[in-house]
Amino acid sequence: MHKDTKAERIKRMQIPAVDVPPELAGRIPPGQVVTDRFPILHEGEVPKYDMAAWSLRVFGEVAEEKTFSYDDILALPHTQIQCDIHCVTRWSKLDTVWEGVRFRDFLQLIDVKPEGKYVMIHADNDYETNVPLADLMGDDILLATTFDGKPLTLKHGWPLRLVVPHLYFWKSAKWIRGIEFMAEDHEGFWERNGFHNVADPFEEQRFSGEAIPIPEDEWVRKEFD
């Protein structure tokens, strides 16, 4: 029986009419709708944590595997960023404010082998997403602990989520528990289920094998903050 995947459902929907104000030209990727909402989209249930047992594991192509407690993360130097974020389901939210540990600063604690050029982010509910290490070295890439001046809410990824603003937001995994460095690229959860491996919003890299993808508007009907 043919499996009706989320990617296939998105492709069947119609592209929304988008009128981008001139002052926002260049900030809004093709086909995105700007919203003040922060829609809540994820697979599975929201995890519950005993923070005394919570840990972040760093492994793979590293000289030494390491494990960090949440207190370890909070004790590291934190950086605040302001950025636009873009979801594959067609919403964009502008000027969002996050705070956390800059990924490249976190790397100073890790001895990554030269061959470790790819990263798999492992998250709870058996989620994972892949990102080249080069894409995680920018000024605005965070292991985020706060949003809009407050601790992350459970539904937005508390206690720790990745923020990669220049890629579609499924790459910014919620509830992260592991960072795996890899010598070769491997697809993550959505990448194995019809979504693009790179996910550049300005190139509309929504789906694998689709030059002109057609989106859904399901985010409008989702819970939001």
The CATH code of the domain that includes 151 is 3.90.420.10
Which pLDDT value is given to residue 40?
A: 86
* Helix or strand (DSSP H, E) at 105: helix 103-106
Q: How far apart are CA 203 and CA 196, in angstroms?
A: 11
Phi/psi for 132 (5° steps) reads -60, 145
Q: Is residue 65 part of a domain?
A: yes
Count structural domains, the chain. Answer: 1
DSSP for 127-161, written as a single string: EEEEEEGGGG-STT-EEEEEETTEEPPGGGTTT-E
- Cα–Cα distance, 89 to 72 (Å, whole number): 35
Does 103 fall in a domain?
yes
1 within domain boundaries:
no
Residue 26 confidence (pLDDT): 85
Which has the closest alpha carbon to 218: 30, 85, 33, 93?
33
* Each residue's pLDDT expressed in tens, for the chain with a length of 225 residues: 445 666 666 665 555 556 667 777 789 999 899 999 898 887 778 999 999 999 999 999 999 999 999 999 999 999 999 999 999 989 999 999 999 999 999 999 999 999 999 999 999 989 999 999 999 999 999 999 999 999 999 999 999 999 999 999 999 999 999 999 999 999 999 999 899 999 999 999 998 865 444 444 544 444 555
- Residue 134, Cβ density class (10 Å: 0-12 exposed, 13-18 middle, ≥19 buried): exposed
Residue 85: which H helix or E strand, with range?
A: strand 79-86
User: Residue 5 and residue 94: Cα distance in Å, rounded?
Assistant: 29
Q: Which residues contact 106 (CB under 8 A, 6 or more apart)?
A: 76, 143
What range does the domain containing 63 cover? 6-45+54-217
Residue 225 falls inside a structural domain: no
- Inside any domain, residue 15: yes
193 found inside a domain: yes
Q: What local confidence, expressed as pLDDT, does residue 99 receive?
A: 98
Question: Residue 16's pLDDT is what?
Answer: 58
Per DSSP, 15 falls in state P
Matching residue, tokens 């996050």: 98
